[in-house]
Amino acid sequence: MRRINPASPLSVIHSLVTERGLILQFVKREVAGRYKGSFLGVFWSFVNPLLLLSVYTFVFGVVFKSRWRPTSTDHFEFAVVMFVGMLTHGLLAECLTRSPGLVVSNSNFVKRVVFPLEALTWITIGTALFHLFIASIILVGAILAWQQHIPATALLAPLILVPYIFAIAGVTWFMMSLGVFLRDIGQVVGIFTSLLMFLSPVFYPIASVPEAFRPIIYLNPLTFIIEQMRNVLIWGHAPDWAGLAIYLVCGYLFAWAGLWWFERTRPGFADVL
């Protein structure tokens, strides 16, 4: 199929739409391969987040008696609110952690096969979204157990993820390229994802951060998405549409820049590998 010029603003969407069949096929293979040979198989996708939520509830709600809101008396609230932040961060962390090794681990696609390497980004995001979907089922059950209802605004959650996914795609394309030429980048990514988590309101509300340090938290691209996800999933508030529009534009531009960089550096992959 005819490739579009990576300098075109439509290149990001084109890379997703034209290869959607291939992407879906590889996502299925990735999911099946991850649990191949295990007794429970894909059921582990349910077990892991369920165990995490149970541990969070016990440690933060029962042992530390943490409260997200000073007026709250429910020990389950903190775990559920934190779980939303963990899942949002986890989507980025899974893609970012895998990105430096994507081209290196698929070197046969570079050397011997005519393969749309840029699709590896969407395959990685698709796999991460599958695990997010499974974990979200656990989250919905937890919200129902806690509040006895799901806010109608929860239906807007996928819209909030769209600009976030574009931003993740941009980062993944950058890291895929850098991972070919700088093999040590994979060691730095783990530290970076941890920093992003602790410098975003995953484990604490923004109100608890001293005002002098709040600009640092707001500069974290995770902060806005985490807050919006909590607003629609838990608190029943409408999202910040203006903020989402700005995030969408910035996220798409970043994805475009990431794909452009990936395509510019792509001719050198075969020489290095």
pTM over 0.85: yes
pLDDT (0 to 100) of residue 2: 54
d(CA 160, CA 171) in angstroms, rounded, equals 18
Question: Residue 4 in 3-state DSSP?
Answer: coil
pLDDT (0 to 100) of residue 135: 92
The answer to whether the CB of 118 falls within 8 A of the CB of 15 is yes
What averages of pLDDT result for each successive group of 10 residues across the chain (273 residues)? Answer: 70 92 93 71 76 84 80 81 95 96 89 84 96 93 92 97 98 96 89 94 93 95 97 96 98 96 92 82
d(CA 180, CA 201) in angstroms, rounded, equals 33
Q: Say which residue the tokens 């995001």 belong to.
A: 125
pLDDT (0 to 100) of residue 229: 98
pLDDT (0 to 100) of residue 3: 62
